[in-house]
Amino acid sequence: MSEILLEARNLQIRFGGVIAADNVSLTIERGKNMAIIGPNGAGKTTFLNICTGWLKPAKGTVLFEGRDVTSLAPRRIVRLGVARAFQIPQLFTEHTALENLLISVSARERLRHPLQDMHTIRQRGEMLHLLDMVGCADVADRPVVELSEGQRKLIDIAVALALKPKLLLMDEPTSGVASSEKFKIMEILVKALAEAKVTSVFVEHDMGIVSRYADEVAVWAAGNVQMRGSPEEILQHPDVIRDVIGEAV
């Protein structure tokens, strides 16, 4: 029943003298929400960069649905069903929230008609629904630069979800968001992911969020996965409390 969606095998990469990935191997199962935790500089973002083709590892392979995607460009990997949300939202800053989603779905559907107004495409309703799902329906027509950091994060995730991915990788979805809003955002998000049947991996520093929303946790340190398991066992582990949680507090 546990089908492997993404598998990283023996990934290695270094920047100058710093080893950012030291023989990393990890499997991600379909339908799960996996949290990645660990101190800054442990190589968490590097791992996401390798999985999405932004960085090429010196050694090792990434398999998505059994297919080797290590050497593919990010856009090819995206086409296979891997979407990504960023630590700093990557949005089209001269467009509104809704337009950001419409552009995303236009890319997904490869819409080419040169005379059709993007606002009249068939998928507009679907995008409005998606905006509603992430709780941003009221700001649909506002330029994204006017929105709060939290709203932009949600729209960044919605832009990724608009691609109907099989796997969504999120880099600190709740960082930069007021702590009172964090749980609200994750609540919305996990519901949206479940509704769209999307597997997710998210890098997270807030252990409250991890224990509540992750099905599985992988602990990163010094460029490698040190441990993985259920949130209960990982968050109780003395090493994790000392090295990871201690630092986060």
Partner 1 sequence: MNLTIFLLALFDGIAYAALVFSVAVGLTLIFGVMRILNVAHGSLYAVGAYLTVSLTGYILALGFAPVLAFPMMIVSAVLVGVLIGGPIEWLLLRRIYNKPEVLQLLVTFAVFMILEDVQRLVWGTQPYFQASALQAMGMIRVFGVNYTVYQLIILPLVALVLLVGLRFFLRHTILGKLILATTEDREAAQSIGIDADKVFLLTFIVGAALAGLGGALASPTTSILPGMGADMIVLSFAVVATAGLGQIEGAAFTALLIGLGRSFAVYVWPETAVLVPYLIMLIVLLVRPEGLFGSPTARKI
Partner 2 sequence: MTVRLAIPALILLAVAAIPFAAPSLQLLMNLALAKGIAVVGVTVLLRAGQVSFGHALFFAIAAYAAAFLSASMPGADLVLVLVVAVAGAAISGVLVGLFVVRYRGIFFGMLNLAFSMIFWSILEKFYHYTGGADGIRLPRPTVFGMALERGPFELIMFYLSLALVILLGWFTVRWFASPSGQLFQTIKTNETRLQYLGVSPQRALLTGYVLSAALCGVGGVIMGIVQGVVTPEFAWWIRSGEMVFIAVLGGAGSVAGAFVGAAIYEIVRTYASAFAGDIWQMLLGGFLLVIVIFAPKGVIGIYDATLARLTGTRANDGETRK
Binding stretches for partner 2 (CB under 8 A): 52, 73-76, 78-79, 83-84, 86, 90-95, 99, 102-104, 106-108, 111-119, 121, 159-160, 163
Site string for partner 1, 79-98 (x = CB under 8 A): -------xxx-x--------
**Residues 23, 47: Cα–Cα separation, whole Å:** 11
CA atoms within 13 A on the CB side of 5: 21
**Residues 79, 63: Cα–Cα separation, whole Å:** 14
Instruction: Select 93 or 236, whichever has its Cβ closest to partner 2.
Output: 93
| Min separation Cβ 115 and partner 2, Å | 5
Residues with Cβ within 8 Å of 237's Cβ and at least 6 positions away in sequence, in order, are 227
Is 54 a binding residue for partner 1 by CB under 8 A? The answer is yes
Instruction: Select 70 or 224, whichever has its Cβ closest to partner 2.
Output: 70
Q: At what angle do helices 179-195 and 124-133 cross, to 10 degrees?
A: 140
| Min separation Cβ 139 and partner 2, Å | 16
Selection from partner 1, partner 2, none that 87 binds (CB < 5 to 8 A by kind) is partner 1
**Residues 200, 170: Cα–Cα separation, whole Å:** 7
Instruction: Select 15 or 148, whichever has its Cβ closest to partner 1.
Output: 15
Q: CB atoms < 10 A from the CB of 166, how many?
A: 18
Instruction: Select 133 or 156, whichever has its Cβ closest to partner 1.
Output: 156
Is 175 a binding residue for partner 1 by CB under 8 A? The answer is no
**Residues 90, 153: Cα–Cα separation, whole Å:** 9
| Min separation Cβ 102 and partner 2, Å | 8
Q: CB atoms < 10 A from the CB of 2, how many?
A: 9
Instruction: Select 97 or 207, whichever has its Cβ closest to partner 2.
Output: 97
**Residues 141, 71: Cα–Cα separation, whole Å:** 38
Selection from partner 2, partner 1, none that 209 binds (CB < 5 to 8 A by kind) is none
Question: Which residues contact partner 1 by CB under 8 A?
Answer: 45, 49, 54-55, 86-88, 90
